[in-house]
């Protein structure tokens, strides 16, 4: 299946291909306007509500906060205020206010606000993933140096470490013990807001799939038609689920049309 096809599967909860290397090659990853480059697996939705300059400024703030904060709840609390700070007072915000006053387009503006919030959540998730990947890279580099240190001590030659040596080895820090990530329900909600018609979700996250089952998803082995349509090879399972259940909500939000649309979800068989 060509990655340029109009119908595809979008990965959740990871947004960056490097965050889920197990995902099949044909699966796409949603870029909320944060990524640059030409990675063919990244899908950038049309109609993102925030201009590129706003997203770039917000992402810089998120990246800094992700490095400084140890709690994703702290970052999530900052997100709405940051979104308002970057948007308020801009020509876009002023134009919207004038348009609302002149044409009575309250519902249209409200819909845009929901999409802006969704894009903000995705940008926050992207920043957290980038931070986790950065820490993982540091962990790998540090691990290589630590392995060299062990070899220099002769521990790779079957020698038994002294008490002093052992205490040093145990002191190696773990940079990525608990990566931060927004709640899966919030992230899936934001992804569905921008998912094109006919496209579905893919997840290799066993916990998320279990949550979907708890909310009513009934998985069965993926059909040959599904495998062919989405360019998959291997063993997978599938289900068709209303959007609000994928967001772990028993009832759809009347302000979010993506909550009532049924979506195909695909997961590895047996996970």
Reported confidence tier of residue 145, pLDDT bands at 50, 70, 90: low
Reported confidence tier of residue 191, pLDDT bands at 50, 70, 90: very high
Q: Tell me which H or E stretch contains 120.
A: helix 106-152
pTM of the model: 0.77
The answer to whether 176 and 133 have CB atoms below 8 angstroms apart is no
Reported confidence tier of residue 37, pLDDT bands at 50, 70, 90: confident
In angstroms, the first-to-last Cα distance of the chain is 24
Reported confidence tier of residue 256, pLDDT bands at 50, 70, 90: very high
Q: For position 251, what pLDDT does the model report?
A: 96
Is the pLDDT score of 86 beyond 60?
no
Higher pLDDT, 75 or 44: 44
* Residues contacting residue 205 through CB under 8 Å, at least 6 positions apart: 12, 13, 184
Rounded CA-CA distance 221/174 in Å is 39
């Amino acid at each position: 299946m060509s990655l340029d096809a109009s119908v595809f599967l979008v990965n959740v909860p990871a947004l960056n291909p490097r965050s889920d290397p197990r995902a099949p090659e044909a699966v796409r990853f949603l870029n909320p306007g944060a990524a640059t480059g030409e990675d063919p697996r990244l899908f950038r939705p049309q109609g993102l509500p925030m201009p590129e300059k706003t997203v770039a400024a917000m992402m810089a703030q998120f990246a800094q906060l992700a490095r400084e904060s140890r709690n994703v709840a702290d970052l999530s609390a900052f997100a709405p205020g940051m979104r308002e700070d970057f948007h308020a007072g801009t020509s876009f915000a002023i134009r919207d206010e004038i348009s609302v006053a002149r044409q009575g387009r309250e519902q249209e503006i409200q819909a845009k606000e929901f999409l802006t919030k969704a894009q903000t959540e995705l940008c926050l998730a992207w920043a957290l993933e980038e931070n986790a990947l950065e820490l993982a890279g540091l962990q790998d580099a540090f691990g290589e140096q630590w392995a060299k240190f062990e070899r220099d001590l002769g521990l790779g030659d079957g020698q038994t470490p002294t008490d002093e040596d052992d205490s040093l080895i145990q002191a190696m820090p773990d940079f990525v013990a608990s990566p931060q990530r927004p709640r899966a329900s919030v992230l899936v909600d934001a992804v569905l807001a921008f998912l094109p018609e006919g496209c579905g979700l893919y997840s290799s996250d066993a916990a998320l799939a279990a949550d979907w089952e708890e909310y009513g998803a009934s998985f069965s082995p993926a059909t040959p038609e599904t495998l062919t349509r989405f360019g998959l090879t291997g063993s997978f399972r599938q289900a068709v689920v209303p959007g609000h259940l994928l967001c772990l909500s028993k009832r759809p939000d009347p302000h979010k049309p993506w909550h009532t649309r049924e979506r195909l979800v695909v997961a590895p068989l047996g996970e």
